[in-house]
Amino acid sequence: MLKRLLKNAGRLNMILSASILVGVLATMLQLGILGLGFTALTHGFTRTPWLGLGVLALVGGFARFGEQYLGHLVAFKLLSRFRNQVYQKIITLAPAKLDHKRSSDLLKLIAQDIEQIEIFYAHTLSPIVIAVLVSILQVWLFWRVAPSLGLIALLAYLTIGGLLPLWQQRRMQQPALAFGQADQRHQRLASETVHGKFELQQYQAITQQRAKLDQATTAYWQANRQKMIRQDQQAGLMQLILVGYLFIFDLVVVLQQLPLMWLLLFPFTFGRVLALATLPGSLSGGLLAAQHLFDLLDETPAVAAQLTGAPLTTVQQGHFDQVTFQYPTRPDQMILNALNFQFKTGQRIGIIGTSGEGKSTIVKLLMRWYAPTTGQLTLNQAGIETYQLTTIHKTMNYVPQMAQIFSGSLRENLTLRKANFTDQQLWTVLDWVHLTEFVQGLPHQLDTTIGADVENLSAGEMQRLELARAFLHPSDVLILDEPTSNLDVLNEAMILAAVKQHYAGTVLIVTHRQSTLAICDQVYRLQNGQLTVPR
């Protein structure tokens, strides 16, 4: 893990090295200031020590600033790089590999976990190296004064800056893991509660959800308490050990009748190693966050993008030939079993079946989210795997069960920020789905801000807006995945009428409601992984 974090820094390791060097310089200058100060107190105040103190303080201040600036410069550059990598990876993995990931987990990774990795680059790596180098110089300095002082300093630095943090790191692994899991579950439930407040009210499930959230909150604070107890125990032990070494060091100085300056200077040499002693508590969370990051970055897409294949310009026909499929996460569960199915351009086909039977899986295979486990899927009599993945997606429009509304203007939601659409085109598709009057009544019409968190759209209006977006972007195949499962009869009729009247391509409707199939000219029933024509 640590090796990979260093490798990701690349050329920025040179800046980290510079941060380490100026950090060592700043620490040694600090000791020099203390030494000159003790000398001035012992031998009286003259102009020379004050001048030296001023110069050392000025240079030391700039060195300390340089250490912090360079360390955080590297950290924030890398955080930016990691976020870009995560966004690119999400695009690569989507949609199949994100099908089973919670949006709250991804949001936590982007917003919180990556931020915690900053601890390693800005507050761990440089301080460790600086502490080692500074400790070596300080041990050498005390050894020059008296070998016994050098030996005591060496043992003190090794114990407080090395042995104690390593021991504490092992003790913190389990509490940190438990806290991370509790935090993730708490954030997930909080996000689901906020974004699903209307559904909770609709199904009168607020009390049950509140109980779950209270339970998650209690578990979060209990895990946090256990983590803090371990950290407090470590801090108390560290202070006890430090006092012991200070007592031994002072005793040796007095017994050997050495200058009292060394007795006064020794406590100030622990600044760097004390920082290491407190690292395990924060570093454990940073390493856990890094593990979450690398787990995502190491994932491979369910279907590799075909970049050199033939472009798919139109879909005239499709054929499922003895297709068998099992989800990678559920290899022991057969979803489709030797399925045969074909369609031609212009057909309106309905697939009905009970929930969980695998209806949506058929369209996911068609959109190349997944590849069949066995069997052959062809488009225009050529294997679907021979086409470029991006061109497959361009020929198909997918309207999911839950409308995907983005935070932005209504215009941006329709056009997906493409500038080649006129207002007349937008009003035309809105008229097709009976939203013209509604949009004209909004404060800023097409430029009104909407989104999942904006309470100005009903479920039916969001579904019709999703359909309008599909109409606006041309395609050969329109896939409606449970398009009316959450809608009333009126909204269902509006959507089906719009599809029948205004879409000329192939339509695939996946549903468990018989009424949704009214516009279909061919209906199949999915049962036991196979399609049959119901009688």
Using only C-alpha atoms, what is the Rg of the chain? 33
Cα-Cα end-to-end distance for the chain: 60
Query: Chain centroid to CA 445: how far?
Result: 35
Which tokens is 309 given?
Answer: 């294949």
- E strand spans, 287-335: 317-325
In this model, does residue 46 exceed pLDDT 90? Answer: no
Tell me the fold of 77-297.
ABC transporter transmembrane region fold (1.20.1560)
19 vs 130: CA distance, rounded Å: 9
In this model, does residue 306 exceed pLDDT 70? Answer: no
**DSSP structural state of residue 121:** I
**DSSP structural state of residue 102:** -
Give the burial class of 164: count Cβ atoms within 10 A of its Cβ; 0-12 exposed, 13-18 middle, 19 or more buried: buried
Tell me the fold of 317-532.
Rossmann fold (3.40.50)
Q: At what angle do helices 206-255 and 279-297 cross, to 10 degrees?
A: 130
Peptide bond into 95 cis (omega under 30): yes
Give the burial class of 224: count Cβ atoms within 10 A of its Cβ; 0-12 exposed, 13-18 middle, 19 or more buried: middle
Give the pLDDT band of residue 452 (cuts 50, 70, 90). low
Give the pLDDT band of residue 312 (cuts 50, 70, 90). very high
Question: Which of 404-413, 450-459, 511-520 has the weakest average pLDDT?
Answer: 450-459
Domain locations in the chain as residue ranges = 77-297, 317-532
List of residues 6+ apart from 384 with CB closer than 8 A: 366, 368, 377, 378, 392
Give the pLDDT band of residue 317 (cuts 50, 70, 90). very high
User: 227-250, pLDDT tens digit by residue?
Assistant: 888 888 888 888 899 999 999 999
CB atoms within 10 A of CB 355: 9
Q: Which amino acid belongs to residue 501?
A: Q
Nearest to 514 by CA among 529, 494, 492: 492
Give the burial class of 397: count Cβ atoms within 10 A of its Cβ; 0-12 exposed, 13-18 middle, 19 or more buried: buried
Helix or strand (DSSP H, E) at 314: none
Give the pLDDT band of residue 175 (cuts 50, 70, 90). confident
